[in-house]
Amino acid sequence: MAQDRPLNHDEMVAVLDWYRAAGVDIAVGEEPVDRFAQRVPQRVTPQPAPPARQQAAERPAETPVLGGDPSEARSLAASAQSLDELQAILGAYDGCGLKLRATQLVFADGNPEAKIMLIGEAPGAEEDRQGKPFVGKSGQLLDRMLGAIGLDRTKVYIANTVPWRPPGNRTPTPEEMALCLPFLHRQVELVAPKVVMTLGGPAMQTIFSTTTGIIKMRGKWSSVSIGNHTADAIPTLHPAYLLRNPAAKQQAWRDMLSLKLKIEALGLQAQ
């Protein structure tokens, strides 16, 4: 059996990186707590319940989920008159708990004047570090997919349904989505794309307002309303899924060819 030894610097950094990727990125306390030394709590004698009228009077007001209020998010998002204003508002917004664990806001990348918009789900670890969407391995694959049909980041605008990285890359909760969705809607309204491509199941379900799975929906065009803006939209598989399932790249390629044909039909290929 190998003898125990202290971890060196590189090993400790690797362990901390592993904890962060798993979502363990907040310390519970500065000092260790010996739970065995704590006293056993004394039995508390139950008190009779107060009358129903008194219970209603003493009940605290309902607090917003995760410290935020969707109506406040809608009001803030609607007040933005430009993408720069919207980014500044999001940067100052503390209503969504995802912000507390994220390194920074991941707002968007690409050309804000483009008429082609790509929407993913949420930032990953590399996106969280760089502050841009789709810059990790899946982003590199996305760049190659765009290049195959004559596009690059100067001709598209890229955003996510959620602008902060969920701990451990988990799927955002419905409450988190409700707080972030007004900002995405306003972002789409300000960009005003003619064509939208969603990447992955969660983004598709958000934009298309459906619970249908991505495999059944991918590759099908629909006219969708996002906030007060309407555009032609097509869902495709997420590049991260393609990295795990290379055989599915054939389906994604058909979707990219369909996107290319739509762009040509709308006369957007030169933009």
Coil, helix or strand for 120?
Answer: strand
Query: How far apart, in whole angstroms, are the C-alpha atoms of residue 175 and residue 23?
Result: 18
Residue 223 dihedral angles phi and psi, to the nearest 5°: -90, 120
- Ordered alpha helix ranges (H), 80-219: 83-92, 98-101, 125-130, 137-147, 174-191, 201-208, 214-217
- DSSP state letters, 230-253: EEEEEEE--HHHHHH-GGGHHHHH
| Residues paired with residue 119 on neighbouring β-strands, in sequence order | 159, 198
Give the residue among 68, 70, 161 at the shortest CA–CA distance from 108. Answer: 161
Degrees to nearest 5, angle at CA 127 with 204 and 93: 80
> What six digits make up the tokens of 260?
């290319």
- The Cα 271–Cα 251 span in angstroms is 26
Interior/surface letters 66-85, b for 16+ CB within 10 angstroms, e for the rest: bebebeebbebbeebeebee
pLDDT tens-digit readout, 244-270: 999 999 999 999 999 999 999 999 864
What is the strand order of the sheet 116-120 is part of?
A: 109-110, 157-160, 116-120, 195-199, 229-236, 222-226
3-state secondary structure of 157: strand
pLDDT of residue 96: 95
pLDDT in tens, 173-221: 999 999 999 999 999 999 999 999 999 999 999 999 999 999 999 999 9
Mean pLDDT of 40-52: 56
Mean per-residue pLDDT of the chain? 86
Using alpha carbons, select from 153, 169, 174 the residue that is nearest to residue 244.
169
User: What's the rounded Cα separation, in Å, for the pair 189 and 240?
Assistant: 27
CB-count burial class (<10 Å; 0-12, 13-18, 19+) for 96: buried
Q: Tens of pLDDT along 101-159?
A: 999 999 999 999 999 999 999 999 999 999 999 999 999 999 999 999 999 999 999 99
Reported as half-sphere exposure (CB side, CA atoms, 13 A), residue 256 has a value of 21
Question: Considering only CA atoms, which of 14, 10, 175 is closest in space to residue 97?
Answer: 175
DSSP state of 102: -
Q: Residue 230: what pLDDT?
A: 98
Q: Which residues of 215-244 are buried (b: 16+ CB within 10 A; e: fewer)?
A: eebbbeeeebebbebebbbbbbbbbbbbee
Chain segment 70-87, per-residue pLDDT in tens: 999 999 999 999 999 999
